[in-house]
Amino acid sequence: MELSERLAAVLAEILPVTHEEDGALTVRHDETFASLRVVTIAEDLDLVSLTQVLAWDLPLDSKIRAKVAKHAHDTLLGTVSLVEKIGAAKGNSKKTGDVLLRYNFPAAGLTDDALRTLVMMVLATGGDVRRALIA
């Protein structure tokens, strides 16, 4: 069984999994959603690339920026980042931001339980960061 099929199967045991047309998997967890994709880097080296959207359209101020920076520094399972945006509506110059957690890991040799556990640990970390940001 290919890694992407294994990943979908082990996650479907505990989370709703949506198969996207481009081959990615989308899961929802703890008021966040994440995209998971298997990327082949070299022969026998497949990575799972996980991008979790933690918060979106947050009004940006120094307090939010400081919180994101703290989580970017303190988070071990993934990289927390802030994507700043200027208002999409014409004439709206207010800045907002989306907060993402990204984590890539090689999955070769992981058992199904280990693969599921690692993904769930990353998703749980994202949930913790989300709660801290929007509290």
Number of domains comprising the chain: 1
| CATH of residue 77 | 3.30.1460.10
Hey, what's the torsion of the CAs at 82, 30, 8, 74, to 10 degrees? 40
The residues, ordered by sequence, that sit 6+ positions from 60 with a Cβ below 8 Å of its Cβ are: 82, 84, 95, 96, 97
State residue 86's pLDDT score: 78
- Tokens representing residue 119 in the block: 């993904």
Q: Which two tokens stand for residue 116?
A: 């599921």
Q: How far is CA 34 from CA 93, 94, 95, in A?
A: 29, 26, 24
Query: What integer pLDDT is reported at residue 44 of this predicted model?
Result: 86
The low-confidence residues of the chain, meaning pLDDT below 70, are 1, 87-92
> Under DSSP, is residue 114 helix (H, G, I), strand (E, B) or coil?
helix
Query: Residue 128 sits in which domain range?
Result: 3-134
pLDDT at 130: 98
pLDDT confidence of residue 20: 97
The pLDDT value given to residue 87:
66
DSSP H or E segment with residue 117 = helix 112-134
Q: What is the pTM of this model?
A: 0.92
Beta strand spans in the chain (E): 17-19, 25-29, 32-42, 45-59, 79-86, 95-106
